Each structure stands twice: as C-alpha cells, then as structure tokens.
Amino acid sequence: MPRLLVAVDLPETTKDQVLSLRQDDLPPGRWARREALHLTLHFIGDVPEAVARAYGRALRQVAVPAFDLLISGVGQFPIKQRPRVIWAGVQNTAPLRELYEAVGAALESEGFRRERRRFHPHITLMRFKKPLRRGLASRWLQAHLDFHAEPARIEQFTLFESQLQPGGAVYTERGVYSLTTA
C-alpha cells in the first residue's frame, strides 16, 4: 500500500536558503536531505492503490491561485518538551490556508479524514532519534529565530508517495497539480 502525503515542494532557491541553516553546533541528529525539503499540507498515510488513484483524481479539482510562501523563524516539536524535530517556520497566510482547505476538501470528497489538530505549517530540518535533553538546541534556536527566506512563488502542489528508508524517507511524485495564475 502506498504511503501518501500532499505537500508543497520548495523552489531550489528556497531550498538553498533553508539549507543555510545546517550547522554542526546541534547535537547529533538527521538533517533533512535537499530533495526531502517540503511543506506538508496533509499527511494521508498508507492507503490501498485504488484509494490513492481516487485521491489523485480528486486533487485535480483544486482551483486555488498561486501565491508567495513566506518562511521565517525556527522552532521545535514538541514545542514545550524535549525536541524530536527542528523546523523552519512558514507563515500561515490566507492563501496558504486556502490551499490547505481546498486540498483537504478534495481529499474528504474521497473519504479522507483530516487530523483534528491545528495546521502548523513548517519545513522539517532535522530529526532526533531520541528526544534531546532540555536546552541542548536552545542556543541554535535562539541564534536563528530571525531567519527569513525570500518569498517563494508557489504555482503547484504535489501528491507524494513516501517510502521509509534507513537514511530517511524517499519521496516520489505521484501527481503534480498546478495552481491558477492571473
């Protein structure tokens, strides 16, 4: 069964800017590979192939204008506990929320159930196998709170299949969907 997610793949120049955050002064963890940098809109999970095809067809109906993605700041998950993930923040602008909602509605039309938790747009930079002790990432997070990437023009979104590998997930495009342009 394919393991699916719908995401915004980042332009190469944006990936360059985000990758500039990679530094050796963090405890050992796994930095996201360049080809894995994306903004997840909806994680779907494992589904039968027929359902995957139905989701792909439903996503063709999404009609949302292209927009600028604004990336700024850094943070961690869980937010108030020992971190397992370090991320770059994405501003939850009205156009991004419109895309998130339209994709969710298209998937729901084929039986998908959305997560109940609030959408927290981010780009995963690093994962830790075990939660870090408190404070180990604090200095790095403080030093990069003011990080800003140049606005990234988003003109499409992607249905990805994710295959888990020892070195991290490998993402394969199953469908690329254009946003509307003026």
79: domain CATH number?
3.90.1140.10
pLDDT over threshold 70, residue 25: no
- Lowest average pLDDT, out of 37-41, 96-100, 141-145, 170-174, goes to 141-145
Q: pLDDT tens for residues 3-24?
A: 999 999 999 999 999 999 987 6
**Active-site option among 42, 120, 122, 144:** 122
Active site residue 122: yes
- Candidate from 56-70, 107-121, 146-160 with smallest mean pLDDT: 107-121
The full length of the chain comes to: 182
120 in catalytic set? no
Asked whether the predicted pLDDT for residue 27 surpasses 80, the reply is no
Contact 123, 74 (CB under 8 A): no
Mean pLDDT of 77-83: 76
pTM of the model: 0.93
| 182 pLDDT higher than 70 | no
Provide the token pair at 148: 């800003």
Which is nearest to 170 in space by CA: 34, 15, 20? 34
CA distance 70 to 27: 28
Show the domain range for 163: 3-178
**Residues 27 and 137 sit within 8 Å (Cβ to Cβ):** yes
Q: How many structural domains comprise the chain? A: 1
pLDDT in tens, 118-172: 999 999 999 887 777 767 778 888 889 999 999 999 999 999 999 988 877 899 9
